[in-house]
């Protein structure tokens, strides 16, 4: 027999497969902390955006004293983000397929590197309230895209699900922030023009889709917290004020006190969403720690078992085993034993290998489910971009067109988006 | 300004994103060699399977002299496989998400470790021709699953496509080998019973699906080689003999010389498929090398450009930039410049970051296409397994049922499989 000395061993690869899982989980312990830091940073930037907006809108009268403290709070969170990034950096560098995530981080860092310039412009009132707001929106969007990619990178279905829930909650909360801003403009100006009404509608619908997905993937505790938000006393007046904004006779319905009311009600709502976000973060951290401990334990059990097996029986007693699940059950392991083999050791290693394969397959199936939610969002984004480019639509218009088609045809938004994309490809 | 010293730089992450791509490509240079080694090993095992089958079928009369040489040739390829594995081992170990691939390799190694025992049983005629054949089929199936996972791991769409083509070609060739064996049984026994006819039909249909997918994803040169196979003189007599096997009056139609003819014609066909496989392997190797060189070059260009940028302008001249593509075009970079900023440097880095993001997005879209082919196969496998378990069908029966439904309803096989899976989940 001419098998040379380099012959590798099945059990080595079995252990390597386990170690690879552990390495993935280690990365996610760190990525989890990065997501927490991003969540805090976004919350701070949302406040800074609001304050800058009011400062610029009031011609420098309001919030001039608070602005410095608010920026300082953002900087604290920025430091937290940088620290988490330094921690995650190493874990990310060697990971297969994390180039997209790294590239998103580069975008975020590039955006954040201009924040001092932006603040100086705001203080000197050299930028319009509108332009400043849009830059903050863009900064937050880029930060959210880092969370999106992190969710897309997760190899463990449990962690992927929490990250999908997290991304959607964060995104929903950001849309709520934008709704607060849009409503403030309308109530303060005592009218909602058609375009502003459409924007409000779009922001509300997009929020609802985010929170639906959050509910689909969140853990029980975060879900319970979120449901408690839905019963809070601010929900009813918010609904009323949205109705005012939507109404054709909104100019007649708007009262002086609405501006302040709207801002405060929506702020309470957003703060509550932040609390849900924190619960979800705690859950993510807990989950990563548990999975990590489990994987570690499974690995050491495997190692012990394999050492044991290797001690008791020489190598050439291994037998070829069929994996029952893939054949029609007509050829069982027993039949090999009947043919005079002693498959004890072979069976033990086989069982380990098969268990690992089956577990990974199961994980892959569950993962596919969580990823579908991300996939739909990607499709939606591409379909909107195509409509915006080819039909000169605004994002709101594109979104409304897609949801209208979906409603009329009783299809999922993702399906409609897919159809639009394939049509657009044909036009080109 | 209270940003601490740990502040990370956008350009670092941009470079890390590029490096990550390079690392992926390095892994695939090695994985490519592993796939070549598997292709050669499978070809050798297919010959060994045929020879063992004839040896056992003839009660040890035929092929007794050749068997040792044929096993020796397999051992040579086995050594090649072990060597490629040792090479790939390191590249695989650190990759995110390669646990499934490692676990498949463990299965393959475990199977191969029993080959000496199997050969000894064959030589002593202690195993039936049928049982030995099934073990070889299983060994080859496990080796093919390594190629499948390798294709599923590829992050580069070009490489993923070639690997999808490769897997389907290898699988089609293996099914052709099984068809050769099944046909040999029928012609030698001078009859094709109903079950054997169904098996032949299943093997032919499954081959056709494999070759369709191969054609969809192969490069031009391999495709041209494959198309030349379709015009070879053995195609017509193979079609005739398949017709004989399918015919209700096959017993009357079978001639003595058909056994030899069938085996030789199918062998020529299989040898030609191996040549196509080799062309595809050469293409894969070439492609990996090109991609690797390109990525290396892009990285060094990026590094030079970034060093240049950093030299010429201090950090705080960076400005926040909006990514145009994601907004409705209403807010252009130009508008920022109009507001008194000098975004030269900001724009340069932004362009690099955006190019990288756009490229990765584009790659992801293309990758999704290649992966769909793999996804459909996974769905099909699960649907068949469910039918086999819940309805006590054989694999052939399950496959036929699914294809019949697909044909009747004018749907893709993948869609039918998906529907069967969701139904099965409801039954449970």
- What DSSP string runs through A3-37? --TT---HHHHHHHHHHHHHHHHHHHHHHHHHHHH
Nearest to A16 among B7, B93, B327 (CB): B93
Q: Is the dihedral of CA B243, B244, B246, B248 positive or negative?
A: positive
B356/A388 touch (CB, cutoff 8 Å), yes or no: no
pLDDT of B220 reads 93
Burial class (CB in 10 A: 0-12, 13-18, 19+), A266: buried
Does the distance separating the beta carbons of A117 and B2 come in below 8 Å? no
Q: What Rg value do the Cα atoms of chain B yield, rounded?
A: 27
**pLDDT, average across residues B373-387:** 81
CB contact under 8 A, B13 and A109: yes
Q: What is the 8-class DSSP label of residue A340?
A: T
Pick from B103, B126, B336: CB nearest A17: B103
Inspect the interface and report whether the beta carbons of A82 and B330 lie closer than 8 Å: no
- Tell me which of A5, A16, A21, A73 to substitute to probe the interface with B (most B C-beta atoms closer than 10 Å): A16
Contacts with B11 from chain A: Cβ below 8 Å: 106
Instruction: Report the residue from B6, B83, B96 with minimal CB separation from A97.
Output: B96
Whose CA is closest to B373, among B162, B63, B201, B60?
B162
Residues of chain B found within 8 Å of residue A108, distances taken between Cβ atoms: 10
* Pair A274, A282: CB distance under 8 Å: no
Comparing CB atoms, the residue among B102, B155, B339 nearest residue A131 is B339
Q: Which residues of A touch B13 (CB under 8 A)?
A: 102-103, 105-106, 109
**Residue A155 or B236, more confident:** B236
Residue B34 in this model has a pLDDT that exceeds 80: yes
Beta-carbon separation of A102 and B141 below 8 A: no
pLDDT computed for residue B267 by the predictor: 92
Closest CA to B322 of A146, A210, A132, A152: A132
Nearest residue in chain B measured CA to CA from A338: B127
For residue A17, give the chain B residue with the closest CA: B99
B69, B87, B97: best mutation site toward chain A, by most A Cβ within 10 Å? B97
Max CA separation in chain B (angstroms): 94
Query: What is the least distance, in Å, from the CA of A298 to any CA of chain B?
Result: 14
In chain B, residues with a C-beta closer than 8 Å to the C-beta of A144 are none
A74 closest CA partner among A111, A43, A51: A43
CA of A310: how far to CAs of A1, A24, A317, B232, in Å?
A: 21, 28, 11, 52
Per-residue confidence band for B342, with pLDDT thresholds at 50, 70 and 90:
very low
Nearest CB neighbour to A17, from listed B4, B102, B318 = B102
CA atoms of A70 and B369, how far apart (whole Å): 47
> Smallest Cβ distance to B106: which of A10, A86, A138?
A10
Residue of B400 and A332 predicted with greater confidence: B400
* Predicted pLDDT of residue A321: 38
- pLDDT at res. A267: 92
Give the closest residue to A16 by CA, choosing from B24, B96, B99, B30: B99
What is the structure's pLDDT at A290?
87
Sequence-ordered alpha helix ranges (H) in B58-128:
66-93, 99-112, 115-123
Contact B395 A16 (CB under 8 A): no
CA distances from A154 to A23, B84, B92 (A): 12, 29, 18
> Whole-angstrom Cα distance, residue A160 to residue A366?
9
Residue A338's Cβ-count burial label (10 Å; 0-12, 13-18, 19+) is exposed
Q: How far is B101 from chain A (nearest CA, A)?
A: 8
User: Residue A247's pLDDT is what?
Assistant: 93
Residue of B nearest to A343 (CA): B114
How far apart, in whole angstroms, are the C-alpha atoms of residue B122 and residue B132?
7
Q: CB under 8 Å to B410, separation ≥6 — which residues?
A: none
Contacts of B203 (CB under 8 A, 6+ apart): B175, B176, B178, B179, B182
Contacts of A18 in chain B (CB under 8 A): 99
Identify whether the C-beta of residue B162 lies closer than 8 Å to the C-beta of residue B287: yes
The CA dihedral of B174, A348, B150, A328, to the nearest 10 degrees, is: 40
pLDDT of residue B97: 62
Which has the higher per-residue pLDDT, B34 or A95?
B34
- Residues B178-188 have a mean pLDDT of 91
- Cα separation, A63 vs A378, in Å, equals 38
CA distance A106 to chain B (A): 4
Q: Work out how many CB contacts closer than 8 A connect A with B.
A: 296
Alpha helices in B313-343 (DSSP H): 333-338
Q: How far is it, in rounded angstroms, from Cα B170 to Cα A74?
A: 57
Share of chain B above pLDDT 90, in %: 37
Minimum distance, in Å, between the CA of residue A233 and any CA atom of chain B: 35
Q: Which residues on B lie below 8 Å from A78 (Cβ)?
A: 3
| pLDDT, position A409 | 75
Residue with the larger pLDDT of the pair B354 and A75: A75
Side-chain-facing half-sphere of A292: CA atoms under 13 Å: 15
Residues of B in contact with A376 (CB under 8 A): none
The larger pLDDT score, comparing residue B89 to residue A122, is at A122
Of B8, B9, B82, the CB nearest to A7: B82
**pLDDT tens readout for residues B40-87:** 999 999 999 988 988 898 888 888 888 999 999 999 999 999 999 988
CB atoms within 10 A of CB B257: 9
> What CATH number does domain B13-154 carry, 2.60.220, 1.10.533, 1.20.120, 1.25.40?
1.20.120
Q: Given B20, B109, B115, which is nearest A10 (Cβ)?
A: B109
Using a 10 angstrom Cβ sphere, with 0-12 exposed, 13-18 middle and 19 or more buried, the burial of residue A69 is: exposed
Percentage, residues of chain B above pLDDT 70: 86
At B342, phi and psi to the nearest 5?
A: -115, 90
Size (chain B), residues: 428
Quick one: which of A239, A107, A316 has its CA closest to B11?
A107
Residue of A nearest to B145 (CA): A357
Rounded Cα–Cα distance for residues B363 and B355 (Å): 12
**Taking chain A (428 residues) in consecutive chunks of 10 residues, what is each chunk's mean pLDDT?**
61 81 78 90 94 87 87 95 87 67 89 92 92 92 89 80 92 95 90 92 90 92 95 96 94 90 94 94 88 82 71 43 35 34 52 73 72 78 82 81 80 79 60
Which of A137, A107, A261 minimizes the C-alpha distance to A199?
A137
Can you tell me the distance from the alpha carbon of B73 to that of B63, in angstroms, rounded to the nearest whole number?
15
| Distance of residue B16 Cα from the nearest chain A Cα, in angstroms | 6
What CATH number has the domain spanning B363-423?
1.10.10.10
Q: What pLDDT is attached to residue B333?
A: 34
Give the pLDDT band of residue B424 (cuts 50, 70, 90): low
**Which class in CATH covers the domain with range A352-421?**
mainly alpha
């Amino acid at each position: 027999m001419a098998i040379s000395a380099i012959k590798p061993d099945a059990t080595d690869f079995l252990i390597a497969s386990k170690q690879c899982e552990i390495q993935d989980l280690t990365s996610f312990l760190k990525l989890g902390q990065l997501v927490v830091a991003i969540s805090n940073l976004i919350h701070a930037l949302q406040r800074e955006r609001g304050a800058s907006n009011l400062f610029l809108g009031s011609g420098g009268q309001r919030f001039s004293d608070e602005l410095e403290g608010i920026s300082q709070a953002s900087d604290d969170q920025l430091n937290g983000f940088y620290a988490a990034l330094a921690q995650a950096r190493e874990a990310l560098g060697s990971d297969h397929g994390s180039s997209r995530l790294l590239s998103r981080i580069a975008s975020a860092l590039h955006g954040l590197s201009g924040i001092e310039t932006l603040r100086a412009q705001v203080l000197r009132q050299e930028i319009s309230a509108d332009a400043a707001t849009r830059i903050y929106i863009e900064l937050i969007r880029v930060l959210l895209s880092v969370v999106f990619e992190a969710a897309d990178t997760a190899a463990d279905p449990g962690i992927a699900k929490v990250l999908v829930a997290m991304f959607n909650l964060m995104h929903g909360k950001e849309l709520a922030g934008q709704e607060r801003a849009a409503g403030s403009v309308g109530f303060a100006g005592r009218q909602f023009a058609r375009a502003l009404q459409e924007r409000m509608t779009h922001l509300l619908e997009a929020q609802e889709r985010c929170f639906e997905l959050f509910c689909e993937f969140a853990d029980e505790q975060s879900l319970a917290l979120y449901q408690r938000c839905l019963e809070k006393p601010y929900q009813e007046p918010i609904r009323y004020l949205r109705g005012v904004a939507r109404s054709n006779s909104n100019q007649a319905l708007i009262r002086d006190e609405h501006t302040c009311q709207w801002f405060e009600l929506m702020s309470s709502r957003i703060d509550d969403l932040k609390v849900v976000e924190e619960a979800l973060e705690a859950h993510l951290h807990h989950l990563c720690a548990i999975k990590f401990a489990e994987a570690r334990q499974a690995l050491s059990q495997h190692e012990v078992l394999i050492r044991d097996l290797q001690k008791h029986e020489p190598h050439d007693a291994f037998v070829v085993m069929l994996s029952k699940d893939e054949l029609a059950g007509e050829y069982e392991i027993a039949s090999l034993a009947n043919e005079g083999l002693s498959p004890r050791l072979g069976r033990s290693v086989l069982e380990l290998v098969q268990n690992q394969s089956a577990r990974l397959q199961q994980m892959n199936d569950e993962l596919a489910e969580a990823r579908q939610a991300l996939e739909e969002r990607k499709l939606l984004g591409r379909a909107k971009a195509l409509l915006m480019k080819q039909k000169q639509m605004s994002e709101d218009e594109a979104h409304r067109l897609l949801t209208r088609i979906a409603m009329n045809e009783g299809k999922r938004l993702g399906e409609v988006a897919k159809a639009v994309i394939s049509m657009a490809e044909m036009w080109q």
